Structure 1
Amino acid sequence: MPKAYQDYPAAYQVSKGSALQVNEAFYQRIREQQNARTLIEQFQIPIRTGRAWKVPAGHVFRITTPVGPQVGDLNIWNAHDPRERLWAARTRQLQGAHVTTYDRLWSNLPFLRPLVTITDDSLAGYGIDEHGGRVHDLLGTRCDPYVNKMLTGEDFHHHCHSNLTRAVLPHGLTEFDVHDVLNVFQCTGLNDDDLYFMKACPAKQGDYLEFFAEIDLLCALSTCPGGDLSLPMWGPEAQDPLSVCRPLGVEIYTLQPALLEGWRQPERAAYNGQHGLQIVAPAWEQ
């Protein structure tokens, strides 16, 4: 009989000393030593809006559900060079289509380094449900007004793509900088037809996902207009899910220097970027 696809090994394997080999003891220490951190900023993002904020390298930030279940769409950039940003597709291959504690979110080429490492996840025990759903999704991407117009013929200006666009404008970025997201607290999977499905958010009031900033970051988060995704937004049974929309919270912490002993910011990819090309000197220099 054919070998079940679940039994095949992952394409990208961890090798000793590679960036995929996470120092779990370091991040566990950050998670467990709560008395070695100081809250330096805290805010809520109202329903159907977005907000951007910066996190220095070596700091921790949490995304929380202060009221109840709510999905959020997260973008991340290098705070000093927005050309470097979250690469959702490669993160899916290196870490998984859904992420949790000790997983990393990777940046795009030619940088290719971890932007953040997940240090804590109150939903880590959710696992895989009876429909194959898992939380903290990299399978899908942000909802956007272009697809909505295509499907419904109507304009709606508070999709996550629009919320993120408005959020980053004060930081000198535009719609072209908004990219594929991490869907925080979102439960998704693939059905038997290999089509993407979304389920009601399993988060409760007080749940959180926590990240360690590996480099200086600019982050942006949208409170999805679908709320907790318990109501359909498209199709024959579509309805306005305003009643199930809730705010999200963000907390930023500085860590005591002792917690950071042995850590250093990851370097960008070591490949020289030549791609097999040869630089030939002009004839007058030969």
Structure 2
Amino acid sequence: MANVEAAYRSGEGSKLAINKEFYGSLIQGKAKRTLVETVKVPMRSGIAWKVPAGHVFRIRVSDGPQVGDFNMWNLHDPRERMWASRTRQLQRAHVSTYDRLWSTLPFLRPMATIIEDTLADYGKDEDGGRVHDLLGTRCDPYINYLLTGEDFDFHCHSNLVRAVLPYGLTEFDVHDVLNVFQCTGLNEDDQYFMKPCPAKKGDYLEFFAEIDLLCAMSCCPGGDLSVDFLGRDGVDPLSTCHPLEVEIYKLEEDALAGWEQPKSPAYKGAHGMKSPTIDWAEVKREL
């Protein structure tokens, strides 16, 4: 198959190019860091946490293989949130080291950058599966009822809803996810498939926070996805479920020399409408 060039190119000189030397210098063992908080994500549940800009957070497999469904917002304005589909276009459908998670319009800027991934060598398996996907989204009680006719409350969507309620967010703020540690792909009929999670105890995916973040994650009730995640084969995946853990680190100031929080594109048009130009930065300040 021909290697068709990407629509959005990140080569030298591109606005999508990343300073690998800087981000590579932030990993453990290269920059001094201090653990400031450890967040436990209970089995079959969800939790939310804050990460200040310039900090690092690590999503870690603390017990056994487990998939996590991850959401992210601007801590100060939840209208700016992770945009899975644009990230797929600007980065790739399965993310890893040096990929960035981008925010929704009109903000459109990197919210977090992946700086280390212990599963980076997994690559592409014999079925075309890869890890950490943006192809699919969270399981939810609506699709469960559609397919089985039964109510089940503890899907990832429901876990994320409960996780963000203490922060003033609602079900309408929960959005398409990054499926951390999940192995997925597209079959010959261009249909989404999932495989058992390849992560082992101690594996992690580590991010650098580009802005102040509110993050949330669900420990998927499907566990490691080694059995049917909706229980349609009569097997409850409870035995395949484990908790996850998040570690938040503060970096020494010297490690951040020259780094600045990313800015949104300076588009000042009005989308072709015959009205005065809108200064979105001013609108956001007034709100």
TM-score band w.r.t. shorter chain: over 0.9
Offset of 1:38 from its aligned partner? 0.3
Greater radius of gyration (CA):
1
Confirm or deny that 1:12 pairs with 2:8. yes
Offset of 1:19 from its aligned partner? 3.7
User: What is the match of residue 163 of structure 2?
Assistant: 167
Letter in 1 for 2:224: D
Quick one: percent identity of the two aligned structures? 67
Letter in 2 for 1:136: H
- Aligned match for 1:138, one of 129, 134, 140: 134
User: What is the match of residue 256 of structure 1?
Assistant: 252
- Aligned match for 1:68, one of 64, 68, 89: 64
User: What is the match of residue 97 of structure 1?
Assistant: 93
C-alpha distance in structure 1 between counterparts of 2:143 and 2:216, whole Å: 21
User: What is the match of residue 127 of structure 1?
Assistant: 123
Offset of 1:239 from its aligned partner? 2.1
Offset of 1:131 from its aligned partner? 0.4
- Provide the TM-score with structure 2 as the length reference: 0.93
Offset of 1:200 from its aligned partner? 0.2
Letter in 2 for 1:195: Q
- Aligned match for 2:26, one of 14, 26, 30: 30
User: What is the match of residue 214 of structure 1?
Assistant: 210
Confirm or deny that 1:186 pairs with 2:185. no
User: What is the match of residue 195 of structure 1?
Assistant: 191
CA separation of 1:34/1:157 partners in 2, compared to 1, >3 Å: closer, same or farther? farther
Partner SS, residue 30 of structure 1? coil
User: What is the match of residue 112 of structure 1?
Assistant: 108
Of the structure 1 ranges 23-32 and 267-276, higher mean CA displacement relative to structure 2 is found in 267-276
Partner SS, residue 170 of structure 1? helix
How many residues align? The count is 277
Q: List aligned pairs for 1:232-243, cutoff 5 A.
A: 232-234=228-230, 237-243=233-239
Partner SS, residue 27 of structure 2? helix
Over 6 Å off, 4+ runs: none
Of the structure 1 ranges 169-178 and 270-279, higher mean CA displacement relative to structure 2 is found in 270-279
C-alpha distance in structure 2 between counterparts of 1:11 and 1:181, whole Å: 23
Letter in 2 for 1:170: P
Unaligned runs of 5+ in 2: 277-287
Given that 1:110 and 1:273 are in contact with CA atoms closer than 8 Å, whether structure 2 keeps it comes out as no
Unaligned runs of 5+ in 1: 281-286
C-alpha distance in structure 2 between counterparts of 1:77 and 1:190, whole Å: 28
Given that 1:118 and 1:211 are in contact with CA atoms closer than 8 Å, whether structure 2 keeps it comes out as yes
Given that 1:77 and 1:85 are in contact with CA atoms closer than 8 Å, whether structure 2 keeps it comes out as yes
Partner SS, residue 220 of structure 1? strand
- Aligned match for 1:79, one of 61, 64, 75: 75
Given that 1:231 and 1:238 are in contact with CA atoms closer than 8 Å, whether structure 2 keeps it comes out as no
Offset of 1:7 from its aligned partner? 1.5
CA separation of 1:18/1:79 partners in 2, compared to 1, >3 Å: closer, same or farther? farther
Offset of 1:264 from its aligned partner? 0.2
